[in-house]
Amino acid sequence: MPTKLLGGLTVDGVPVTGSGVDALPITGNVFYVNSSTGVDDPSYGTTVARPFDTLDYAIGKCTASNGDVIYLLPGHTETIGSASAITVDVAGISIIGLGNGNLRPTFTWSATAGTIVVSAANVTIKNIICTISIDEVVSMWSVTGAGVTLDAVDFKPYASGQAIQFLTSANTADQLTIKNCRHRQTAAATANQVWFNIVGVDDFAFLNNDIWITAKAATASICVSGSAALVECRIVGNRIAWLGATITTIINLITASTGVITDNRLFGGAAVLLAAAITGDACYMAENYVSNTVAASGALAPQVDTVT
């Protein structure tokens, strides 16, 4: 039987420290994945000593809406070499990377059309590293299921190429949450970059993320874009450096978007102005600061309220 982690994180009864994740009770099945020792075979996967080899195989062994958990062991690696190379299509599962820093599981996109698709609802993915090994990766993640959470799903730069987009959603991806992520890319792609393309999602949450991206110099390059109206979104507590000449907007939500945009710190090139850095339409906004100059403090954006 799969190991149960009840009240604290253990592996085959042994407490785990330095796992990079919080310990939570588990009610479903538990599976383990490790590319260095694993085998994709039904007799494997339920202990650390006999893990599965790939995430996609482990997903196929999960039961929908059962609270199943897949642990990716420290040092696990996989390559995303095609569209839908991994499809998360079982509802209610958690995919959790173990390990700290560079020992966390790493997924490398090796094809420009490579994607991980999250089509099932109520999925959580946590504590993994994403990177690329080819230039101009079009869109790394596609989320269509509702209630999906990406927590500490980081992006590391590649010295010889750039990703164009990290994530796009469908309008079915209500309650999408992206939080605690750290993304770095220090050279611009050749195509216009919309790093997070959030399309018509209700109750979208973008919380406590650190983004440092040098993007293509174009007004169409936007870090967080609501390209169809977002309903009751929360964009709160992020630090975003979205760098590149002629870029004017960092957060841009289409007309009729509603929600709260507050306590963000935004930095860009000289073309980023207070009037355009955040376009929130019908969102409430407070305590957002914007700067387009190094070694200078930001100013409140957008315009200061006139309530008396």
| Confidence bin at 20 (pLDDT 50/70/90) | low
Residue 75, exposed/middle/buried by CB under 10 A (0-12, 13-18, 19+)? Answer: middle
Which of left, alpha, beta for 77 (phi over 0: left; psi -120 to 50: alpha)? beta
Give the DSSP letter string of the chain. -PPP--SS-EETTEE--S-SS------S-EEEE-TTT---STTSSSBTTB-BS-HHHHHHT--TTTT-EEEEPTT-EEEE-STTSEEE-STT-EEEE-SSGGGS-EEEE-STT--EEE-SSS-EEEEEEEEESSS-B--SEEE-SSS-EEEEEEE--BTTB-BS-SEEE-TT-TT-EEES-EEEE-S--SS--EEEEEES-BS-EEES-EEEEE--SSTT-EEEEEEE--BSEEEES-EEEEE-TT---SEEE-TT--EEEES-EEEE-TT--TTTSEE-TT-EEES-EEESSTTS--EE-SPPP---
How crowded is residue 194: how many other Cβ atoms within 10 Å of its Cβ?
22
Provide the pLDDT for residue 103: 97
Q: Is residue 260 part of a domain?
A: yes
Q: Is residue 266 part of a domain?
A: yes
The CA distance from 125 to 304, in Å, is 38
| Confidence bin at 16 (pLDDT 50/70/90) | very low
Cis before 74 (ω within 30):
no
Q: Is residue 218 part of a domain?
A: yes
The CA distance from 75 to 66, in Å, is 27
Provide the pLDDT for residue 6: 39
Give the CA distances from residue 186 to residues 88, 155, 193, 307, in Å, rounded to whole numbers and listed in that order. Answer: 30, 12, 13, 41
**Residue type, position 138, single letter:** V
The answer to whether residue 3 scores a pLDDT higher than 50 is no
Q: Is residue 256 part of a domain?
A: yes
The CA distance from 264 to 253, in Å, is 15
The answer to whether residue 59 scores a pLDDT higher than 80 is yes
Mean pLDDT of 188-212: 98
Q: Is residue 54 part of a domain?
A: no
The CA distance from 141 to 117, in Å, is 6
Write out the residue range of the structural domain in which residue 156 sits: 135-300
Q: Is residue 47 part of a domain?
A: no
The answer to whether residue 1 scores a pLDDT higher than 80 is no
Cα dihedral 253/255/258/263 (nearest 10): 40
113 vs 6, more confident: 113
Q: Is residue 122 part of a domain?
A: no
The answer to whether residue 23 scores a pLDDT higher than 80 is no
Provide the pLDDT for residue 91: 98
Q: Is residue 148 part of a domain?
A: yes
The answer to whether residue 10 scores a pLDDT higher than 80 is no
232-255 per-position pLDDT tens digit: 999 999 999 999 999 999 999 998
13 vs 215, more confident: 215
Contact 209, 238 (CB under 8 A): yes
The answer to whether residue 179 scores a pLDDT higher than 90 is yes
Task: List the single range of 1-5, 36-40, 44-48, 86-90 with lowest mean pLDDT.
Answer: 1-5
**How many domains, in total, are found in the chain?**
1
Mean pLDDT of 198-223: 97
- Residue 289 tokens read as 């600061």
266-292 per-position pLDDT tens digit: 999 999 988 899 999 899 999 999 999
Q: Report the candidate in 246, 264, 209, 254 with the shortest Cα–Cα distance to residue 230.
A: 254
Entry pTM: 0.93
